[in-house]
């Protein structure tokens, strides 16, 4: 008997055994918890007569989405409605990222300006945006747009055929046809060709040491596909001009107040964070770099562009990634002001079908997937700008 308990004690003090024991306990308790929750859920669902599975995705949705980037009508399926929501989320996030990056770069540089007034203004901008919740700003921008702008009937015509009213900004739009899409594709193709050609020719130049002009060839590669596509497709450039009717504006395309408020809110709040990131990135570049650059005779603007920013980028990219990711996740606040993003469409779907688990699972997976995609892309970009050490 004592020998037995001895061996048990010895086993318990064996580090290998303990490591395995801990892991088995951890995994086991999680599995047990999962099983327990699963049994609760299936019992509840059976009691409340809630359907399960993703079959509802192919049923008719029957609700209206106020604005979509892809074709969607209430007779389409839930799956298509959710897809429209995803596209809306990506659309507003993408534009916000662009706006926020430009604003953030400008404000971040302004904060370091030697002009004290400019630096002060940039400081106030950043603090005012960082210390007040984004949701409050969204409500505020939305309220300002809806209450202070005139009704559609009295829409301001700020430029010819550009109307501002409390139902948004209405601008002339091109009537889009297949021919236009093909030309855009050709333009992208030309761009890719030009980049490839430029790389090849630069490599050739470095290898042979012969200085040949490359730009006419590159320009040629860039322009040929779109020009060809243009000549073949013969597109029509019909423009839809918004006109002020008696009660509403007809024609043109519209930026809704929801979209505008969300865009401004997301872009401004992210730009404050980005400004701080840019500032610390620039400060991380050593003073000697500035001095050396000045000694070479470069002006401040050129020093910033050619010497400091490329080095600062290495410090900037990793936190910038998390800043973009949080902007993307914050776009889910759209539901608060009624922009039909993924969360809002999923919410409507859940209310109609009662299938909360599936609905939440879908949008969590989409966010997770897109978050991972963004961080992979930014990691790839980071590895490109990172210092290449021998």
Partner 1 sequence: MTTATDIAEAQLKMPVRRDPGVERRLFHRTLKPLIGTPVNAVITLVCLWIMWLGVKGAYGWLVTRAVTEGGAQACKVGQGACWPYYEAKLRFMVFGVYPYDEHWRVALAMILFLGAIAISMIPRFWSGKLLVFWAFVIMATGVLISGGVLGLSYVPTTQWSGLPLSFLLSAVGLALGFPLGVVLALARSSKLPAIRVIAIVFIEVIRGVPLISILFMASVMLPLFMPSGITVDKLLRAQIAIIIFAAAYIAEAVRGGLQAIPRGQHEAASAMGLHYWQSMRFVVLPQALKIAIPPLVNISIGFFQDTTLVTIIGLLDFLSTVRTAMTDPNWVGIAVLEGYVFAAVVFLVFSYGMGAYSRFLERRMRLGYD
Which residues of this protein are in contact with partner 1, per CB under 8 A? 19, 22-24, 26-27, 30, 37, 40-41, 43-45, 47, 113-118, 120-121, 127-128, 130-136, 139-140, 143-144, 147, 329-330, 332-333, 335-336, 343, 347, 350, 356-357, 360, 363-364, 367-368, 371-372
State which residue, 121 or 171, has the beta carbon closest to partner 1. 121
State which residue, 229 or 362, has the beta carbon closest to partner 1. 362
In the complex, minimum distance from the CB of residue 161 to partner 1, in angstroms, rounded to a whole number:
29
State which residue, 49 or 208, has the beta carbon closest to partner 1. 49
In the complex, minimum distance from the CB of residue 113 to partner 1, in angstroms, rounded to a whole number:
8
In the complex, minimum distance from the CB of residue 24 to partner 1, in angstroms, rounded to a whole number:
8
State which residue, 112 or 197, has the beta carbon closest to partner 1. 112
Q: Give the HSE-up count for residue 388: Cα atoms under 13 Å, Cβ half-sphere.
A: 3
State which residue, 172 or 319, has the beta carbon closest to partner 1. 319
In the complex, minimum distance from the CB of residue 376 to partner 1, in angstroms, rounded to a whole number:
12
CA distance 185 to 177: 13
In the complex, minimum distance from the CB of residue 88 to partner 1, in angstroms, rounded to a whole number:
15
State which residue, 224 or 360, has the beta carbon closest to partner 1. 360
In the complex, minimum distance from the CB of residue 261 to partner 1, in angstroms, rounded to a whole number:
13
In the complex, minimum distance from the CB of residue 108 to partner 1, in angstroms, rounded to a whole number:
16
State which residue, 73 or 299, has the beta carbon closest to partner 1. 299
Q: Residue 286 burial by CB count (10 A; 0-12/13-18/19+): exposed, middle or buried?
A: exposed
């Amino acid at each position: 008997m004592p020998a037995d308990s001895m061996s048990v004690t010895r086993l318990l003090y064996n580090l290998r055994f303990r490591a395995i024991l801990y892991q088995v306990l951890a995994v086991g308790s999680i599995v047990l918890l999962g099983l327990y929750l699963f049994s609760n859920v299936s019992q509840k669902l059976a009691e409340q007569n809630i359907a399960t599975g993703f079959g509802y995705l192919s049923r008719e949705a029957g609700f209206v989405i106020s604005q979509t980037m892809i074709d969607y009508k209430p007779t389409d399926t839930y799956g298509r409605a959710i897809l429209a929501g995803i596209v809306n989320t990506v659309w507003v996030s993408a534009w916000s990222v662009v706006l926020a990056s430009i604003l953030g770069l400008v404000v971040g540089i302004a904060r370091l300006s030697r002009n004290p007034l400019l630096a002060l203004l940039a400081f106030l901008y950043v603090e005012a945006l960082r210390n007040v919740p984004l949701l409050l700003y969204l409500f505020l921008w939305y309220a300002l747009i809806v209450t202070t702008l005139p009704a559609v009937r009295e829409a301001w015509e700020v430029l010819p055929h550009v109307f501002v009213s409390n139902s948004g900004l209405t601008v002339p739009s091109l009537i889009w046809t297949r021919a236009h899409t093909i030309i855009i594709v050709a333009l992208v193709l030309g761009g890719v060709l030009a980049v490839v050609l430029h790389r090849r020719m630069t490599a050739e130049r470095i290898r042979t040491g012969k200085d040949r002009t490359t730009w006419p060839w590159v320009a040629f590669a860039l322009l040929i596909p779109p020009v060809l596509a243009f000549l073949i497709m013969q597109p029509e450039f019909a423009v839809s001009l918004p006109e002020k009717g008696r009660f509403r504006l007809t024609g043109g395309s519209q930026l809704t107040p929801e979209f505008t408020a969300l865009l401004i809110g997301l872009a401004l709040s992210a730009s404050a964070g980005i400004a701080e990131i840019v500032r610390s990135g620039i400060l991380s570049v050593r003073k000697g770099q500035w001095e050396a650059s000045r000694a070479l005779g470069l002006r401040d603007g050129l020093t910033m562009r050619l010497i400091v920013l490329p080095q600062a980028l290495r410090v900037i990219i990793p936190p910038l990634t998390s800043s973009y990711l949080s902007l993307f996740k914050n776009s889910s606040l759209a539901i608060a002001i009624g922009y039909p993003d993924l969360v809002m469409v999923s919410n409507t779907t859940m209310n109609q079908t009662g299938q909360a688990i599936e609905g939440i699972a879908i949008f969590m997976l989409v966010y997770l997937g897109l978050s991972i995609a963004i961080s992979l892309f930014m990691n790839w970009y980071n590895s490109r700008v990172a210092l290449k050490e021998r």
